[in-house]
Amino acid sequence: MPTSTRNLTLDFMQTEKGQFSSFKLNAILGLKYNHENKYSHNFLVQFQNIKTNFVETVEISPELLRYRFKLGNTYKEGKLISKDENEYEKYLEINTQKMKVQEPIYKILSKETIIEILGDNDFNAFKYGGNFCYIHEEEDERYIIPSSVVALYYYFRSSSMKEAVYKGNPFVLYDNLNSNLMDKTDAILVLESHSSKLDGPFIYRFLTNETAQKGFIDFSRYISAFKNKKDIDKRPTGLIPIKALFPTRETFNIKIRYIKIEDTSTDKKTYLVNEIKNDDSTLNFDKLTVLKKKKKDGAIDPNDESGLHVKRRKPKKRRKNVNTKTPSSIYGTNKIREIENTQNLSLEGKDIIYGLLEEENSNVSLSREKEEKGSVSVSFSKGENSGDETSQQSKLETEDNNKEKISKPPTFDIFLESIEFIEDSNLVNNFIFDNILKEVPTSFTKSKKLTTMCSIHNRLKQYVTCSFEYNDINVVLIEVESEHNDFATWVITSEKEISEENSTELLKMRFTELEILQKIKDKYNNLNNQIFFTYRHAQVNDENEHEEVLERWLLRLLYKINDK
């Protein structure tokens, strides 16, 4: 059963001291072998207390490292509070034909440099140095690309892919009988029900490209070979250095987050890559239809339109440039968007259609899925031997348990996930996130007590904001604490600049003057001046569609902004 990550905090962040401390994730130390389930290994990582420099070494699932906890970022109680000030982003052209060899990090970087990466601490220097990396060199620069970064971007795109990687078998992700992978001008990929639709184009590469397939299989073989050697030497298998191949042999661009490091072993400027955010590596198809199988519990009358998920009609094709035009693929449909090229450069110019297969008495038919309502949950639950393994060392709080201990309602975590996705989407400009918690304006009862509207847990409610531009429209999102999980995000749009005073004025109307939201919406409904509306949080039901739902949520928000 998928577990909500809205209240997810790593164990050490919930201790009496840990809950008041900030921790920086500064290193991936290796792959922690899981003897109970060989298809569910976690990554061992190092967090460091910002004030004390004390090191916390914990296990985290690859999914959490891809979507929630990222190298170089600082977290408090599981929430992102800051990013490394010395971190940069750029597009880097690499040639993987010349990057076939992976070297141990300790052979590439000096011990002093490794200690610097680990926060001037040598506690985990041996573990970190044993991992592998690629080296990309230019005239007076060299970039160190850890194999763990390659693994997270290309192989651990979802829980289902993770399990398939550890099995060394990409073919468990799709239905060979109903797929047609040979016609690259009009390929059809039918995914099994546990696979993620958004992985479709990348799964296609692992199924059809010999180099990519070798990387997929070699990952698993490497883990098995490492364990076998330990068994022969009669030594327990603990930490396995991470080794992962690039899935293509070509020259292409990767968008990277990186930091500059000092290394006395070379005269070149040295940079360490913390994350691959995007790339334009080759996906060898022109058109791909990705269909996900979904077992159907009961029969549906095809003549009863209310029983169908969506009216039968041909899927609309995505626009080529969503940055400057309203994403028309979401008009009038409840199904997934078709604008992958804005999320991944490899999909630029590709024609991709997503659909759903419903199985009934062995007859497979295509339908378009209806978006269901539900609570936000993603596939970070503890795994089973057969299923979606995603265990991590963490404490999960439910809404019924430990209510007194939850200082911030889960809506904040939902909001943070959503706005992080906005920032990484490449759909908006001038994104700014103010992660400082602020208190809402106050109002008091006749007995001089805080009104229930502006208080929570016997204190003032708090809020956070972010801003960006879309189609020359200025946008501010405001998230206010709430007792209710269905509480919506506030949205302010204007053709003019939106100042902090504008946001404060709306907050005062709500919490000091105790106006109802509808009255505020009625007052602010002119784009030349300012428009105010509320927008519901992202809702995730399918445990393999976490990123997919956030994308759908963002597209509908942008459509609503553009349509006002």
* Residues 74 and 50: beta-carbon distance below 8 Å: yes
Q: What is the widest separation between alpha-carbon atoms in the chain?
A: 78
Higher pLDDT, 9 or 83: 83
Would you state the pLDDT for residue 383? 36
Q: Which amino acid is at 165?
A: V
Of 123, 144, 102, 143, which Cα lies nearest the Cα of 56? 123
Neighbouring C-alpha atoms within 13 Å toward the C-beta of 282? 14
Query: Hey, is 269 helix, strand or coil?
Result: strand
* This prediction's pTM: 0.63
Token pair of 116, please?
């610097």
Cβ–Cβ contacts within 10 Å for residue 238, how many? 13
Q: Domain coordinates of the chain in residue numbers?
A: 287-367, 411-484+486-563
C-alpha–C-alpha distance, residues 427 and 323, integer Å: 5
C-alpha dihedral sign at 226, 227, 233, 236:
positive
CA distances from 334 to 7, 59, 315, 368, 371 (A): 29, 38, 11, 8, 6
- DSSP-assigned beta bridge partners for residue 48: 24, 55
Would you state the pLDDT for residue 318? 35
Confidence of residue 343 (pLDDT cuts 50, 70, 90): low
Asked if pLDDT for residue 345 goes beyond 60, the answer is yes
Region at 481 (left for phi over 0; alpha for psi -120 to 50; beta for the rest): beta
Would you state the pLDDT for residue 487? 65
Higher pLDDT, 115 or 365: 115
Helix (H) or strand (E) holding 469: strand 462-470
C-alpha–C-alpha distance, residues 33 and 44, integer Å: 10
Would you say how long the chain is, in residues?
564
Neighbouring C-alpha atoms within 13 Å toward the C-beta of 523? 10
Q: Is 464 exposed, middle or buried (0-12, 13-18, 19+ CB in 10 A)?
A: buried
Q: Is 165 exposed, middle or buried (0-12, 13-18, 19+ CB in 10 A)?
A: buried
Higher pLDDT, 269 or 358: 269
Asked if pLDDT for residue 240 goes beyond 70, the answer is yes
Would you state the pLDDT for residue 484? 61
| Residue 3: DSSP 8-state | B
- Percent of the chain residues past pLDDT 90, beyond the cut: 44
| Residue 470: DSSP 8-state | E
Higher pLDDT, 317 or 484: 484
